[in-house]
Structure 1
Amino acid sequence: MKKALATKNRATRETWIDAAYTLFVNEGIEAVKVMPLAKTLNLTRTGFYWHFKDLSELHDAIIDIWQTRNTGIILERCAMPAQSLCGALLNLIDCWIDTELFDAPLDLAIRNWARNDARLQAIVDQSDDDRLTAVKQLFERFGKTGDAAHYRALTVILTQTGYYSMQVSEPRLQRAIAGCHYAEIFAGEAPTQLEIDAFLSRHR
């Protein structure tokens, strides 16, 4: 019995975080509690405390995943080298088509949680500012300045937020084709056929 208990307690920190992530995205932060997690994993409550001092530390780990996976990827994609404004925008639009890059369900779950958590709302507000700044700087790299850069960047962010808040579902290639049209609207110029072909080839 002791040997079996020790084996259960050796579950990794990532095991608990992965289970918490799944519960959180599917059921909200209220579902992320020690006993439901332990039951889901067939582990002991004591095993949880091998890796976390309390539940708030696990909650913070979920927030860290969100900041890295979602805000981090937007900043990264905005900074990628590109030969044109449309090319730069398509690099960004990649992360809203490829679910391996940007986690829309996680973003929505975080925002729902933040409505009832002032500390998290402040983190979300700062993250949104960082995202907007990154997209604005993308436009500035290609000659858009002032309000022209700001409102284009805001339109990019709000368009994508609208997609997942309204839970729009469409085939990946269809979303990619739409992405080419959005890039043209955001940039005020059409991507080249070479840029379109390269972009669509990434999402077939």
Structure 2
Amino acid sequence: MSTLSRPPGSKDLWLNAAYDLLIEGGVDAVKIMPLAKRLNLTRTGFYWYFKDIAELHRAMIQRWEAKNTGNLIEQCELEAASICESLFNLMDCWLVPTLFDARLDLAIRNWSRVDSDLQQRVKEADNRRIEAIARMFKRYGYSEEQADVSSLTVIYTQIGYISMHRLESREERLARVPHYVELFSGIRPTAREVVNFNDRHQKSIE
């Protein structure tokens, strides 16, 4: 029986701390000693969960892909009675951090500027997101061309929000969402669709 015992902490704990450092200072800030200091753990504990910093980087990227891209695709594929309802489902991503982490998305994009492999992964993620949104539009009768342009408009709008550090209150964002839905779809959402969207986000902050 091994005499080695698992050190304090967990893989997720190290990953979470790495994300915090990435968001605060970029990838150059994600180093083993600063991570250990932040967690009040020894650097030896790091090597229990990761072979080296490169493995940590890979785990960070994989989690970003699963969370931001994976959740966005799932939201696009939810059952909905109309394109407006589907768009409201997608807009949940921009209001629920557990579905989509905008600060992390920006940090990953900034990191990709100095990492050609990651840059390719970001391009692939964007393509997967665009394709999922286009499929969503096509389910409701939009042509290939309409779906393509609409999906690009949705993604570029959100990337603009993120990259420009657009600051607005939650109330302001909620008030604008129905107008974005109408702009993207060309259809005014019904009063019931707007109420349902607002109700679920109001409940999330009560």
Q: What TM-score do the two structures reach when normalised by structure 1?
A: 0.94
Alpha-carbon contact 1:173-1:200 (below 8 Å) kept:
no
Alpha-carbon contact 1:8-1:44 (below 8 Å) kept:
no
Deviations 1:70-122, CA, capped at 9 Å, x for gaps: 00111000000000011111110111122222100000000000011011011
- The answer for unaligned runs of 5 or more in structure 1 is 1-5
Matches for 1:97-112 after TM superposition, within 5 Å: 97-112=95-110
Is the counterpart of residue 33 in structure 1 residue 31 in structure 2? yes
Matches for 1:43-192 after TM superposition, within 5 Å: 43-192=41-190
Instruction: Report the Cα distance in structure 2 between the residues aligned to 1:20 and 1:114, rounded to whole angstroms.
Output: 16
Secondary structure of 1:49's counterpart equals helix
Instruction: Report the Cα distance in structure 1 between the residues aligned to 2:75 and 2:69, rounded to whole angstroms.
Output: 10
Instruction: Report the Cα distance in structure 1 between the residues aligned to 2:116 and 2:98, rounded to whole angstroms.
Output: 29
The alpha carbon displacement at 1:164 in A equals: 1.2
Is the counterpart of residue 198 in structure 1 residue 193 in structure 2? no
Instruction: Report the Cα distance in structure 1 between the residues aligned to 2:40 and 2:51, rounded to whole angstroms.
Output: 20
Superposition CA RMSD, Å: 1.4
Structure 1 segments of 4+ aligned residues over 4 angstroms from their partners: none
AA matched with 2:39: L
Bigger Cα displacement from structure 2, 77-86 vs 164-173: 164-173
The alpha carbon displacement at 1:7 in A equals: 8.1
Instruction: Report the Cα distance in structure 2 between the residues aligned to 1:131 and 1:16, rounded to whole angstroms.
Output: 28
Deviations 1:136-184, CA, capped at 9 Å, x for gaps: 0000000011211100110001111111111111121221121100000
The alpha carbon displacement at 1:8 in A equals: 8.7
Percent pairwise identity: 48
Secondary structure of 2:167's counterpart equals coil
Q: What TM-score do the two structures reach when normalised by structure 2?
A: 0.93
Change beyond 3 A, Cα 1:174–1:203: farther
Alpha-carbon contact 2:8-2:41 (below 8 Å) kept:
no
Instruction: Report the Cα distance in structure 1 between the residues aligned to 2:161 and 2:191, rounded to whole angstroms.
Output: 26
- The answer for unaligned runs of 5 or more in structure 2 is none
Alpha-carbon contact 1:173-1:203 (below 8 Å) kept:
no
The alpha carbon displacement at 1:193 in A equals: 0.5
Partner of 1:13: 11
Deviations 1:20-54, CA, capped at 9 Å, x for gaps: 11111111110101111111112112111111111
